[in-house]
């Protein structure tokens, strides 16, 4: 009977965990997704490397802001050049804005000049919900130990205006510089801004 009570309690504890959101400072939730070239990627494949997750929807004006200006591509190029793995995740459901076939995804990737390591297709939204990604662009940084070290906005200028990029503080660049220098992330969370993820 005691065991039974213990069992019920641990069952309940399991439920509790399942409901918990990813926490900065905790291990990043594991996932496997297929990229636009048909290759599966498991988060654990990148153990030992710093990983950036970027929630992407090219139809969203907030995403457009960072791609039209070249801001996002520059970040991707700069940091993949320093060994960072950059994964763009598309959680748009089929038929919703931002959802694309793998071919169109690759075509758009070339057109936009994306330097992401891979674009992951999450059309059932599992990984988006796992990370509680609510907007595009929403950014996550996972350090080489697999710990989530940043979650939030790309920068501190909540707008769709490309003119705002110049004076903005880029939280992602700041956090990546700190992580790569082995320092703790000074601003580890921010409120992400953007369009809702089209689950």
Partner 1 sequence: MFRLLSVLVLTLLGTGPLSAQMHNGQKLVEATLVADTTAMVPGKPFRVGLHLQMAPGWHTYWENPGDSGLETTLRLQLPEGFTSGPLVWPLPQRLIEPGDIQVYAYKGETLLTVTIMPPADATGPVEIKARATWLVCEAICIPGSADLTLTLPAEASGAPANTDLFAKFDALLPSSEPPPFETLWTPTPTGWNLGLRGITDARTADFFPYAGETASPGHTAPREVANGNADISIPIDGSPPVRGVVVLENGSRHGWIIESGTGTPAESSAFTPAPPPSDLTKPAASLWSILVFAFIGGFILNLMPCVLPVISLKIFGFMRQAGDSRANILKHGLAFIAGIFVWFLGLAAVIVALKAAGSEVTWAFQFQNPWFNFVIGAVVFVFALNLFGVFEITLPGRAAVSIASAAGHSGVSGSFAHGILATLLATPCTAPFLGAALGFAFTRSPTVIFAVFFAIAAGMGFPYLVLSAQPGWMKHLPKPGPWMERLKQFMGFPLFATLLWLLYVIGQQRGTEAVIWAAATYLCLGFGAWLYGAFLGPVSSPRAKWLASAGIAAALALAIGYFAGNLFAGAAASVPSAKTAANTDGIPWVPFSDAELQKLLAEGRPVFLDFTADWCITCKFNERTAIDTRAVREAFAKLGIVPMKADWTNSNPEITRKLAQFDRVGVPFYLFYAPGRADDPVILPELLTEQIVLRSIGAGKP
The residue ranges that bind partner 1 (CB under 8 A) are 1-5, 7-9, 11-13, 15-16, 19-20, 59-62, 64, 93, 96-97, 125, 128-129, 134-135, 158-161, 191, 193-199
The token duo for 58 is 């090219």
Minimum Å gap between C-beta 36 and partner 1 is 21
Cα–Cα distance, 68 to 40 (Å, whole number): 29
Closer to partner 1 by Cβ: residue 5 or 181: 5
Closest distance to partner 1 from the beta carbon of 178 (Å): 19
Residues 104-128 as b or e (16 or more Cβ within 10 Å = b):
ebbebbeebebbbbbbbbbbebebb
Which of 69, 134 has the CB closer to partner 1? 134
Q: Which is nearer to partner 1, 77 or 129 (CB)?
A: 129
- The least distance separating partner 1 from the CB of residue 191, rounded to whole angstroms, comes to 6
Q: Are 115 and 52 in contact (CB under 8 A)?
A: no
DSSP state of 183: P
57: buried, middle or exposed (CB in 10 Å: 19+, 13-18, 0-12)? Answer: buried
Q: Are strands 40-42 and 118-121 parallel, antiparallel or unpaired?
A: unpaired
Rounded to 5°, the CA angle 52-53-59 comes to 130
Query: Nearest distance from residue 50's CB to partner 1, in Å?
Result: 26
Minimum CB distance to partner 1 smaller for 9 or for 30: 9
Least Å distance, CB 69 to partner 1, is: 14
């Amino acid at each position: 009977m005691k065991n039974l009570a213990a069992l019920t309690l641990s069952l309940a504890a399991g439920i509790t965990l399942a409901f918990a959101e990813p926490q900065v400072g905790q291990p990043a939730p594991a996932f496997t997704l297929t990229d636009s070239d048909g290759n599966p990627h498991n988060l654990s494949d990148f153990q030992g490397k710093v990983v950036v997750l970027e929630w992407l929807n090219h139809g969203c004006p907030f995403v457009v802001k960072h791609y039209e200006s070249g801001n996002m591509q520059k970040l991707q190029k700069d940091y993949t050049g320093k060994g960072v793995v950059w994964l763009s995740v598309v959680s748009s459901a089929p038929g919703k804005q931002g959802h694309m076939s793998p071919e169109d995804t690759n075509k758009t990737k070339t057109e936009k000049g994306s330097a992401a390591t891979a674009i992951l297709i999450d059309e059932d939204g599992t990984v988006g919900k796992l990370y509680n990604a609510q907007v595009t662009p929403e950014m996550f940084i996972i350090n080489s130990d697999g710990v989530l070290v940043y979650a939030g906005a790309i920068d501190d200028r909540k707008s769709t205006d490309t003119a705002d990029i110049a004076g903005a503080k880029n939280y992602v660049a700041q956090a990546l510089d700190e992580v790569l220098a082995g320092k703790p992330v000074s601003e580890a969370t921010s409120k992400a801004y953007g369009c809702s993820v089209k689950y």
